[in-house]
Amino acid sequence: MNFLKLLTFYFLLSVSILYYCMIGFILLLFKPKKEVVIWVAHKWGRFNLKHAKITLELHGQENLTRTPAIFVINHQSMLDIFIMSSLLPDKTLPIAKKSFSYIPILGWFLRAAGVVLIDRHHPSKALEGMKQARDSIIEQGLSIVMAPEGTRTKTGELQPLKKGAFYLAIQTKLPMIPITIVGAYSLFPKSSWIPKEGAVKVYIHLPISTQQWSIETIPDHIEQVRTIFLNHLK
């Protein structure tokens, strides 16, 4: 492993968190929280992709504007965080793992900006976070981005999809838009410390209507989305 490259990657990652979050704190004094979060996410994600020398090949980018919607992504790599931050549609309710809130500066900014923090290790607390997300989506007409696998794949294979995003779709009646990230795992697998340079393909699918969905049909919809992911991954 190139130690200098390792040091540079994490130094720039840390500096970008500090820089953009501090600007974010200032902007929160003058602008709505949702606008500030989107601005910070775009700048931070694009900065880290650029300095990691990762390029994106986008397919169906126009579908990012078909909002409000529930965007669901496959979770291949740490790069997914940079990719989705750089592409985050306007008026999107950010959701993050609660563990991010313990990172100095970043955690303070996430809380100040109203990001929903999900505690995956405590089901009752995770449910509270999802209820908060649902209420915000319905009341404010927001979109949401979720990774239904729950965590990064260790093997590169698509993992089982959890039901949370599908329950949310039934409750909000928002269309669901699958986003398939292809190639991120080979550039930055979970076992690696630094990413390789290269290109990642991102396929943004057409919206799937959820108006007729029900709890009983959730397995069918999970299979539908899983098939979309797998078709692109193959």
d(CA 12, CA 50) in angstroms, rounded, equals 11
pLDDT of residue 1: 57
pLDDT, tens digit, 9 for 90 and up, residues 161-211:
998 899 999 999 999 999 999 999 999 998 899 999 999 999 999 999 999
Rg (CA), the chain: 17
Strand-strand pairing, 95-97 and 116-118? parallel
Average pLDDT over residues 41-57: 96
Average pLDDT over residues 203-221: 95
Average pLDDT over residues 111-135: 77
Average pLDDT over residues 83-104: 87
Which 8-state DSSP code applies to residue 173?
A: -
Residue 55 binned pLDDT confidence (cut-offs 50, 70, 90): very high
Average pLDDT over residues 22-28: 95
How many structural domains is the chain composed of?
A: 1
d(CA 67, CA 65) in angstroms, rounded, equals 5
Q: Is the pLDDT of residue 125 over 70?
A: no
Q: Is the pLDDT of residue 132 over 80?
A: no
Q: What is the pTM of this model?
A: 0.92
Of 114-118, 150-154, 166-170, the range with the lowest mean pLDDT is 114-118
Retrieve residue 56's tokens: 């994106």
Average model confidence (pLDDT) across the chain: 91
How far, in whole angstroms, is CA 210 from its chain's centroid?
Answer: 21
pLDDT, tens digit, 9 for 90 and up, residues 72-86:
999 999 999 999 999
Retrieve residue 146's tokens: 């979720």
pLDDT of residue 126: 67
Backbone torsions φ then ψ of 231, nearest 5 degrees = -60, -40
Owning domain of residue 214: 3-233
- Angle at which helix 218-233 crosses helix 164-172, to 10 degrees, equals 120
Q: What is the CATH number of the domain that holds 63?
A: 3.40.1130.10
Q: Is the pLDDT of residue 159 over 90?
A: yes
